[in-house]
Amino acid sequence: MQIRVLGCSGSIAAGSRTTSFLLDDNILIDAGTGVGDLTLDEMARIDHIVVSHSHLDHVLAIGLLADSVTRRRHAARRPPVRVHALAATIAALRLHVFNGVIWPDFTRLPDLAHPVLQFSAVDVGQVLDLGKRRIEVLPASHTVPAVGYAVLGRQAGSGAWVFTGDTGPNPALWQRLASLPMAALVIETAFGDDENELATISQHLCPAQLQRELACLAAPTDVYITHIKPGEVDAVMTEIAAQLGGRHRISALVSGQVMVLAD
């Protein structure tokens, strides 16, 4: 499997794009501002968007992508782009985004019979069959209903690519991961330890909390840190290195990075 990091920042600034990953060439995992780095041809190939939660930095590009590809997909008689998310997330998107005030309702455009977007509700524990990929919905703990995702390997025993989504301390996640072979873990750490209280209130992680979470991993793992705020990457990664030592192979994600894992 190939995962291209379109965006992995906790907010925007020059060179910083918010969360989105391109799986192979037709599945987006979250749809933050990083989607804007795709060409129009690449956008037109997207058939599925799996969404972790409703916050703007993870969903901003759904409507913009729909607007960009409507004509091409309609002319080619392509099916709707399916947006997979919790029912609560879909309700939030309908009410607050695709409401004709903030953005047109692309589940009804260009016409009711041939919309460019289609919502599909998911539940924690469900495994989505999206063409050649199987993606498991993982539990997350955040200020709004949220999930993470595991892209499962196709061969027995092959490791999964795991994305925690935005989450604070999350025992249910580690209970599931204890029995799931894992090739790579993408986990957010939004704040430094000097903002521990803010991390707790907003249900994100700081390095001290990350240390406690990663203690749940039985084996050394490739761990990739995402969602650090612009300008804070060096400081947060220095704190993480000081606290976690060398047990896990830990690095910060970078926009444009490509991760290739065995199926």
pLDDT for res 59? 98
Question: Could you count the other beta carbons within 10 Å of the beta carbon of residue 179?
Answer: 6
What is d(CA 99, CA 105) in angstroms, rounded to the nearest whole number? 6
Q: Are 210 and 196 in contact (CB under 8 A)?
A: no
Torsion angle defined by CA atoms of residues 18, 86, 174 and 208, in that order, rounded to the nearest 10 degrees? 40
pTM over 0.85: yes
> What backbone torsions phi and psi does residue 210 show, to the nearest 5 degrees?
-60, -40
Q: What is the pLDDT of residue 196?
A: 86
Contact residues for 220 (Cβ-Cβ < 8 A; gap 6+): 247, 248, 249
The CA distance from 200 to 143, in Å, is 10
Pairing of strands 160-163, 182-188: parallel
Instruction: From first to last of the 263 residues of the chain, give the pLDDT tens digit.
Output: 999 999 999 999 999 999 999 999 999 999 999 999 999 999 999 999 999 999 999 999 999 999 999 999 999 999 999 999 999 999 999 999 999 999 999 999 999 999 999 999 999 999 999 999 999 999 999 999 999 999 998 877 789 999 999 999 999 999 999 999 999 999 999 999 999 898 899 999 999 999 999 999 988 899 999 999 999 999 999 999 998 877 899 999 999 999 999 88
H/E run at residue 122: strand 117-122
Amino acid at 220: P
In this predicted structure, what is the pLDDT of residue 236? 96
Residue ranges of the alpha helices (H) in 104-230? 171-177, 196-202, 207-214
* CA atoms 83, 89, 92, 97: torsion sign: negative
> Which residue in 148, 184, 127 sits closest to 1, CA to CA?
184
**Among residues 249, 246, 240, which one has the least CA distance to residue 221?**
249
Structure confidence at residue 158 (pLDDT): 82
Place of tokens 């300008």: 231
Specify the CATH number for 2-260; select among 3.40.190.10, 3.60.15.10, 3.40.50.300, 3.40.50.970: 3.60.15.10
Is residue 9 within 8 A of residue 37, CB to CB? The reply is no
pLDDT at residue 187, rounded to an integer? 98
HSE-up (13 A, CA, CB side) for residue 110: 12
**Cβ atoms of residues 180 and 162 within 8 Å:** yes
- Confidence (pLDDT) at 156: 72
Task: State the pairing for strand pair 20-23/27-29.
Answer: antiparallel
Residue 35 burial (CB < 10 Å; 0-12/13-18/19+)?
buried
